[in-house]
């Protein structure tokens, strides 16, 4: 019950309203269909939940930007549209299924240096090639010490809408909400040069809470 009784992200209200109307119509047609409609409406409310999180406040910590499972850890260059160079750095990919919280959070404090949206395909977000071919919203952030980090919202097989609520030049804090992706997706984090991950493939992460790296080491 505690999991259900949490705030709802504003982006979810239009969908919840649509689900509720459809459920009402289904109930008029058949009591059994109405029950199905109610269940789907409750699921929609659950999907758009936006719980508060307790973010570690030590400087230098890189926090997971999303709930989900660490799907991949490798070395890769940030998306070319961010113009961060082609040198490879550690990348941590967090995959969100349709039951995870989909509100995304800033992994570390800094200033947003560049934002870039790129349309693309809707391949299964758990595939490595999704980072290259899928629709994405890329963000480059400059840390107070001048280093940089990138994080990328990637649409998935079901996802059809990436929401990003921040702008270039904006100062952001670790754990701050910056957007969401609707219905199954992934977020990749390209760590600062020389910083290594502190998580493992298969580990469950909590957006805004789980430490994935320490940039001060």
Determine contact, residues 140/167, Cβ cutoff 8 Å: no
**The one catalytic residue among 109, 131, 138, 185:** 185
Give the count of beta carbons closer than 10 Å to the beta carbon of residue 35: 13
Interatomic CA distance for residues 31 and 143, integer angstroms:
56
Strand order in the sheet with 103-105: 103-105, 177-181, 162-164
Chain mean position to CA 129: 18
Chain mean position to CA 189: 10
Instruction: Find the angle CA(138)-CA(141)-CA(145) to the nearest 5 degrees.
Output: 160
Partners of residue 5 on adjacent β-strands = none
Interatomic CA distance for residues 48 and 111, integer angstroms:
27
Q: What are phi and psi of 87, to 5 degrees?
A: -70, 135
- Whether 64 sits among the annotated catalytic residues: the reply is no
CA-CA-CA-CA torsion for 135, 117, 78, 130, nearest 10 degrees? 0
Interatomic CA distance for residues 182 and 198, integer angstroms:
28
- The residues assigned a catalytic role are 185
């Amino acid at each position: 019950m505690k999991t259900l009784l949490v705030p709802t992200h504003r982006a979810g209200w239009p969908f919840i309203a649509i689900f509720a109307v459809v459920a009402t119509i289904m109930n008029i047609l058949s009591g059994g269909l109405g029950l199905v409609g109610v269940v789907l409406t409750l699921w929609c409310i659950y999907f758009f939940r936006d719980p508060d999180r307790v973010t570690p406040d030590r400087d230098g910590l890189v926090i997971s930007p999303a709930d989900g499972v660490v799907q991949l850890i490798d070395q890769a260059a940030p998306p070319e549209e961010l113009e961060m160079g082609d040198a490879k750095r550690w990348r941590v990919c967090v995959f969100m299924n349709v039951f995870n919280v989909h509100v995304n959070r800033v992994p570390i404090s800094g200033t947003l240096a560049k934002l870039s949206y790129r349309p693309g395909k809707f391949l299964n977000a758990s595939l490595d090639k999704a980072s290259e071919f899928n629709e994405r919203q890329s963000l480059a952030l400059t840390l107070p010490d001048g280093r940089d980090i990138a994080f990328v919202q990637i649409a998935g097989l079901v996802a059809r809408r990436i929401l990003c609520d921040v702008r270039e030049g904006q100062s952001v804090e670790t754990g701050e909400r910056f957007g969401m992706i609707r219905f199954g997706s992934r977020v990749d984090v390209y760590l600062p040069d020389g910083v290594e991950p502190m998580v493992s493939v298969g580990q469950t992460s909590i957006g805004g809470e789980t430490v994935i790296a320490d940039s001060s080491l």
